Amino acid sequence: MHERGGVPERVFAGVRLVRHTRADVVAFERGVTQLPEVAACHHITGNFDYLLQVEVADLPAYENFHANQLATLPAVATVTSYVTMKTLTADTT
């Protein structure tokens, strides 16, 4: 990954799956963990099934990642992206 001034662009992506069969969940989780842009993946409750922390060089790189990798993973229904404007606190451990 190329970084802008040493700091990557951080995007949070809420992912909803089409189905929640065991096979679909396993296939999605196997695929998402293979993507180097995904710094963290959390299985959550609420409006999304997963919340991803994605780190890319810039927004065009995220657009490419979204269209050609994330949205093509098994069982992905929707992806809602949130671009980080500023980070006030961060756990670096």
Q: What is the pLDDT of residues 38-57, one digit of tens each?
A: 999 999 999 999 999 999 99
Distance CA 15, CA 92 (A): 24
- The answer on pLDDT for 2 being more than 90 is no
Give the Cα separation of 40 and 51 in Å (integer).
8
Task: Quick: pLDDT tens for 3-20.
Answer: 445 568 999 999 999 999
Which class for 69: exposed (0-12), middle (13-18), buried (19 or more C-beta within 10 A)? middle
pTM: 0.87
Tens digits of residue pLDDT in 57-93:
999 999 999 999 999 999 999 999 999 888 898 776 6
DSSP one-letter string for 30-86 = HHHTT-TTEEEEEE-SSS-SEEEEEEESSHHHHHHHIIIIITTSTTEEEEEEEE-S-
pLDDT score at 5: 55
